[in-house]
């Protein structure tokens, strides 16, 4: 074996080793979850009087969901004299008229609701929240994105926790209005459930930092101000503010039993746009705050968890590199009579892939899902995660290279259950050349699969199929703009608007 080939395999196994470390971190999250599962948060006391609350609704071109959002927020059960609602609208389309009319309708019913429209999108969502905060009257500020439908008891169940003067933010769990729409929305729902049920609970109850998710949470206004306010130098202003506030000593509370339903993207391009923003923003936040965190006098376990939390998306860069190297390493070792060393791959792959299985099976189990219903989506979840690697690796590279980009909103369609409204093309995710790259990777792994079968290297076949299927699904779904969704959903999309409204009601 030549020196070049030895170096090549050394790089390959190094990549596998680092990915295995990030993968094994899921085991720690599951361990911490079960260790602290029954450490339920309770209010430390009783508020002497109910405080004044402002609810902010930042929107941008959300004509399909803005009315649903405003109507649901106006149903929140809280003394009207203590509640203010701000519709922070940066829209440039028909949303403006719909939102204005909706606000006026509720104002005529006696609600304290205001419509605030900016003529520019400076700072994007963070800028809108900051602008609204300047004229807000509330001591506490709740935020809901356009696709959310908060329950009427949201404030009743969150405000009492602020009886503890150290608590700066309370976050509730996201639900999913359209989980059943397609296999893509099922997968997204499981991903988000893992983040909220396992990760948030584990981090919060073990004393580590966790983050406000940009929506379905409520802040103490003085916490926002003490932490430096909303800043828009990253694409994840929520993650950024969360870490700055906790560095200041503020405590956060997560309430997994309080659920605020929302819509997940039905279109692959919209989903990829959302993932790109989250991945890029997390690395931007890591670059901005991780040095301060590591230099602080915080406990080692808090620093360690912050490191894994903020840098987790770096794994996508390594996943793309692994995707290039894995078939080549198989060929190199086979031609040198060393294909038996493929068994060296197994501990690394099992560490990375089995951790995904354990993590998401635990997530489903905690929701009462059992048996086949708990397991049937796992292969697809792993493939989808691999298929997103190119999209998210690009986001990570942009963050590392300081390439700035605008805040790309996640298109909402008003989807609930398996129904969907007719939507304009401008409300779908933007097409790029990325699907062609993903399909090239799918073709590359198709060749690798043929070689593995021909050479009888059967230990590699399951992993190759995971990579091949992931890149193929993500690439094709991106090109077909969601036409791979369920037949029922497709049929619902063709129904008249009146019938769709009846179905949703």
Residues designated catalytic? 90, 238
Residue 170's DSSP bridge partners are: 218, 253
Name the phi and psi angles at 328, rounded to 5.
-65, -40
Name the phi and psi angles at 12, rounded to 5.
-60, -50
- ∠ CA 185-190-193, nearest 5°, is 125
Return d(Cα 115, Cα 300) in angstroms, integer: 46
**Residue whose structure tokens are 């190199």:** 332
Return d(Cα 363, Cα 167) in angstroms, integer: 27
DSSP H or E run through 219: strand 217-220
279 within 8 A of 405, measured Cβ to Cβ: no
**Nearest by Cα to 142 from 58, 208, 68:** 58
Enumerate residues 6+ apart whose C-beta is below 8 A from 317. 393, 396, 397
How far is CA 418 from each of CA 260, 270, 364, rounded to the nearest angstrom? 19, 18, 21
328 within 8 A of 446, measured Cβ to Cβ: no
Name the phi and psi angles at 197, rounded to 5.
-70, -45
Return d(Cα 76, Cα 81) in angstroms, integer: 13
């Amino acid at each position: 074996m030549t020196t070049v080939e030895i170096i090549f395999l050394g790089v390959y196994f190094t990549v596998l080793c680092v990915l295995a470390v990030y993968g094994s971190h899921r085991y720690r999250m599951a361990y911490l979850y079960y260790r602290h599962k029954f450490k339920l948060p309770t209010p430390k006391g009783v508020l002497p009087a109910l405080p004044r609350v402002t609810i902010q609704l930042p929107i941008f071109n959300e004509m399909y969901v803005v009315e649903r959002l405003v109507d649901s927020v106006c149903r929140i059960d809280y003394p009207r004299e203590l509640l203010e609602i701000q519709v922070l609208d940066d829209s440039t389309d028909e949303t403006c008229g719909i939102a204005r009319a909706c606000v006026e309708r509720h104002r005529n019913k006696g609600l304290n609701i205001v419509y605030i429209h900016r003529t520019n999108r400076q700072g994007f969502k963070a800028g809108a929240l900051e602008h609204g905060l300047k004229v807000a009257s509330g001591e506490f500020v709740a935020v809901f994105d356009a696709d959310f439908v908060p329950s009427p008891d949201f404030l009743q169940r969150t405000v009492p926790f602020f009886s503890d003067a150290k608590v700066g933010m309370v976050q509730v769990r996201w639900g999913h209005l359209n989980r059943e729409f397609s296999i893509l929305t099922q997968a997204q729902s499981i991903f988000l459930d893992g983040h909220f049920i396992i990760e948030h609970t584990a981090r919060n109850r073990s004393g580590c930092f966790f983050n406000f998710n940009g929506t379905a949470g409520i802040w103490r206004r003085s916490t926002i101000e003490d932490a430096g306010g909303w800043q828009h130098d990253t694409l994840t202003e929520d993650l950024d503010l969360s870490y700055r506030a906790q560095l200041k000593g503020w405590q956060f509370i997560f309430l997994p039993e309080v659920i605020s339903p929302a819509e997940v993207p039905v279109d692959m391009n919209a989903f990829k746009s959302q993932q790109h923003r989250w991945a890029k923003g997390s690395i931007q936040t890591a670059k901005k705050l991780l040095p301060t965190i590591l230099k602080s006098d915080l406990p080692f376990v808090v620093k360690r968890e912050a490191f894994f939390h903020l840098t987790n998306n770096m794994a996508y860069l390594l996943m793309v590199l692994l995707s290039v190297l894995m078939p080549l390493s198989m060929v190199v070792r086979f031609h040198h009579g060393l294909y038996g060393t493929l068994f060296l791959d197994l501990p690394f792959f099992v560490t990375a892939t089995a951790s995904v299985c354990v993590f998401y099976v635990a997530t489903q189990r905690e929701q009462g899902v059992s048996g086949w219903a708990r397991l049937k989506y796992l292969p697809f979840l792993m493939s989808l995660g691999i298929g997103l690697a190119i999209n998210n690796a690009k986001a990570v590279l942009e963050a590392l290279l300081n390439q700035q980009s605008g805040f790309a909103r996640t298109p909402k369609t008003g989807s609930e259950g398996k129904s969907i409204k007719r939507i304009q093309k401008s409300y779908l995710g933007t097409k790029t050349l990325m699907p062609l790259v993903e399909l090239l990777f799918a073709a590359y792994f198709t060749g690798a699969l043929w070689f593995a079968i021909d050479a009888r290297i059967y230990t590699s076949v399951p992993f190759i199929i995971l990579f091949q299927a992931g890149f193929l699904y993500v690439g094709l779904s991106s090109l077909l703009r969601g036409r791979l969704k369920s037949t029922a959903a497709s049929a619902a999309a063709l129904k008249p608007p009146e019938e769709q409204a009846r179905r949703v009601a």
